[in-house]
């Protein structure tokens, strides 16, 4: 029985909900452990095609639980940061797409969790920030690296050096979020996007994700080789035959088998 989050599955889509609304869903060791356990379930479930992540209450995740880390030693801080980074890297490298439905405050570690997702949909009440410098520290869950890759080093440095908040509309304007909608429509829109993805060939989607993510760390020549390999893998699947023959025969609503 999990204490800090909810996990549910509906057909090919799973949803993780951070569930400590009275604490604005802040992250501590227990939250990280439970997130790791949930990722174990996601990794082992071959029926899943999309993962949604959101939060209950006024926050997506409002950062780390400061009371739990204020007295950490240098070594303890290193271990805490490493633990969080290992877990978020696992989430980032899932073979299925991960969508963050950001319902409110996404601050510090919460913002870093959202950035480790493939796509982000934000409610019009969402607020994003990496305010760690105001607490005498810096981002430690991958924020310096992912933010600079998402929006470029100049904007990332300004946000991190100032620790300022940005609105959902600001986040969309700099490419941090894919879509902004009302709070009432957030989960509906996130699930609509998840269903659009889930209807497509799972291997095609997962190989596309792999090629994009792996290719970003390479020069263009090596990255194109990654795409060539990923493209060819699709031709070992039954879904490739279903999709292409269905197109040729003008079939509609092809149901892919993930095989």
Residues involved in catalysis: 112, 132
Q: How many CA atoms lie within 13 A of 50 on its CB side?
A: 24
Token pair for residue 80?
A: 């805490």
Cα 173 to Cα 58, 117, 210, 233: the distances in Å are: 23, 18, 26, 36
Cα 127 to Cα 67, 131, 151: the distances in Å are: 22, 12, 16
Number of H helices, E strands in the chain: 11, 10
Token pair for residue 161?
A: 């050096």
CA distance 36 to 31: 9
């Amino acid at each position: 029985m999990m204490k800090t989050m909810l996990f549910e599955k509906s057909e090919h889509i799973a949803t993780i909900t951070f569930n400590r609304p009275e604490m604005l869903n802040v992250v501590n060791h227990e939250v990280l452990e439970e997130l790791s356990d949930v990722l174990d379930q996601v990794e082992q479930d071959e029926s899943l095609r999309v993962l949604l992540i959101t939060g209950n209450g006024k926050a997506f995740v409002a950062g780390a639980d400061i009371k739990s880390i204020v007295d950490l030693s240098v070594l303890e801080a290193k271990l805490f940061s490493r633990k969080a980074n290992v877990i978020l890297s696992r989430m980032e490298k899932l073979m299925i797409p991960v969508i963050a439905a950001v319902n409110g405050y996404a601050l510090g570690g919460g913002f870093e969790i959202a950035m480790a997702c493939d796509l982000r949909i934000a409610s019009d009440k969402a607020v994003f920030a990496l305010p760690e410098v105001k607490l005498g520290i810096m981002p430690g869950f991958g924020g310096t690296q992912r933010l600079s890759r998402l929006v470029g080093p100049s904007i990332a440095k300004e946000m991190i050096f100032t620790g300022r908040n940005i609105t959902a509309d600001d986040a969309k304007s700099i490419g941090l979020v894919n879509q902004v909608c009302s709070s009432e429509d957030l989960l509906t829109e996130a699930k609509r996007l998840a269903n659009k993805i889930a209807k497509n060939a799972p291997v095609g989607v997962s190989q596309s994700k792999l090629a994009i993510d792996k290719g970003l760390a390479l020069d263009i020549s090596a990255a194109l080789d990654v795409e060539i390999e990923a493209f060819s893998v699709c031709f070992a699947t039954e879904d490739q035959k279903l999709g292409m023959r269905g197109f040729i025969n003008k079939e509609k609503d092809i149901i892919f088998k993930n095989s």
